[in-house]
Structure 1
Amino acid sequence: MRRSFVDILERNADHAEAFQFSFDDLQEDQHPEVVSVSCSDSRVLHDHVWGNDEPGHVFTCSNIGNRVTQRGASGDVVSGDVLYPVEHTGTETVVVMGHTGCGAVTATYDALSHGLSDLPGIEYCLELLKPHVEPGVEALPDGLDRSAAVNHLVEYNVDQQVSVLRDCDEIGDTVDVIGVVYDFQGVYGGRRGEVHVINVDGERSVEALREAYPQIDSRIDRLWTY
């Protein structure tokens, strides 16, 4: 057995010691306040991003490309791991969190623009992302290098995932759908590790969002509009 697993198992002992009495009210059910859909990436510490140390507070989903869809028998549908907490536990806030330097968006961009991918083995995920990212590739501003293009498309992908949720009949009007980008590259000019709000219920205008939500105006920003 590799030492890497032994190490994390030993750290779990500290976790168990700290949390052993945190589950008393959660033995039979849960009522998380927020669903967070994140990208599967070792650089994105999904719960830690939110400072979450409270079991039952955040329902965390992760997959390649922070997608909210899966392929069903009749086509793409909203994933059950997103719908479950909304429909069955009363959660009224869904956050779609992309991140700078996203490998899934990079692979999708390369596949769409050059017909290749340097990330073999994730073809299924790319096929789900391509329809959402392809219009963004065509709309990219001129003169962007590959890294900048990818980070623009990270925003575009988040926007598209928010749109899918807003168009879903099971996601009612009382549910807030918020799109954000986790920036560990410092692209947005703030501290690395900050989350920047780019979309709320389909509204993408930075000015409109800052006016509507002055309590978080310093955390609302975008790299581009289209």
Structure 2
Amino acid sequence: MDQTFVDLLAGNLAHAAAFDDRFDDLQAAQHPHTVTVCCSDSRVLQDHMWGNEAPGRIFTCGNIGNRVVQRTDEGDVVSGDVLYPLAHTGTETAVVVGHTGCGAVTATYDALTGDVNDLPGIEGCLDLLKPLLEPGVEALPDDLSRPEAINRLVEYNVDRQVDVLVGSDDVPPGVEVVGAVYDFQDVYGGDRGEVHVVNVDGERGVADLRATYPAIEDRIRRLWVY
């Protein structure tokens, strides 16, 4: 067996020893206060980015492109993995977390601006992103470098995923939807690994968001106002 997995199992023993008594109140049910939808990426540490070590606190979902949409025979709907905690466990906050340098956004950008073919499973994921990102690609300023364009589309993708949740009748009333970007490239300033809020319930204006949420005004930043 590969030594890397052996090392992972050893790390799990340390985890189990530290967490053994943290599941006492969670044996029969869970009531997380937040569901996060993050991009599936080895550089995006879903619980650690929030400093979370409490089981039952955050319901974590991950997929390439931090998508909240899945395709069904009836059309595109809010993904069940996102909707489940909102509909069944009393979760009242949904956070869509994009990240700088996103590979899924990059692949979608390349597919929209060129001729890129990938494996069917990956193509299926990109096909869900393409209609959401295509207007953003067309609106990009002409003077951006490729990395700058990608990171602005990361924000744009977060905005569109937030829009889906805010506009869905399947999401219970009163759920707050936050859009954020996890920055490990020092694009936004501050320390690498910081989360920056770019959208709340569809509002993207930085000044308005800071006025409405003064407790986090220093965490509200955007690269692109469109």
TM-score by length of 1: 0.98
User: Does residue 131 of the first structure (1) align with residue 136 of the second (2)?
Assistant: no
Please state whether the residue corresponding to 2:25 is helix, strand or coil.
coil
Unmatched segments (≥5 aa) in structure 2? none
Q: 2:50, 2:17 → 1: CA distance?
A: 22
Asked if the contact 2:78/2:170 (under 8 Å) is kept, the reply is no
Secondary structure of the structure 1 residue equivalent to 2:26: coil
Query: CA deviation digits over 1:68-91, x for unaligned, max 9?
Result: 011111111100011110110000
Q: What TM-score do the two structures reach when normalised by structure 2?
A: 0.98
Q: Separation in 2 of the partners of 1:116 and 1:71? A: 22
Q: CA RMSD in A?
A: 0.9
Contact 2:87 2:172 in 1 (8 A): no
Residue 31 (structure 1) aligns with: 31
Question: Which residue pairs with 1:195 in the alignment?
Answer: 195
* Paired position in structure 1 for 2:169: 169
Deviations 1:142-179 (A, max 9, x none): 11111111000000000000000001112133110000
Match of 2:72 in 1: 72
Q: CA deviation at 1:120?
A: 4.4
Q: Secondary structure at the match of 2:178?
A: strand
Runs of 4+ in 1 over 4 A off after TM superposition: none
Aligned length: 225
Partner residue in 2 for 1:48: 48
SS in structure 2 at match of 1:178: strand
SS in 2 for 1:126: helix
Q: Hey, what's the Cα distance between the residues in 2 that align with 1:49 and 1:223?
A: 21
Amino acid across the alignment from 1:172: P
Matches within 5 A, 1:79-90: 79-90=79-90
> After superposition, what is the alpha-carbon deviation per residue over 1:75-123, rounded to whole angstroms, capped at 9, x for unaligned?
1110001111011000000000000000000000001011226x64511
Which ranges in structure 1 are unaligned for 5 or more consecutive residues?
A: none
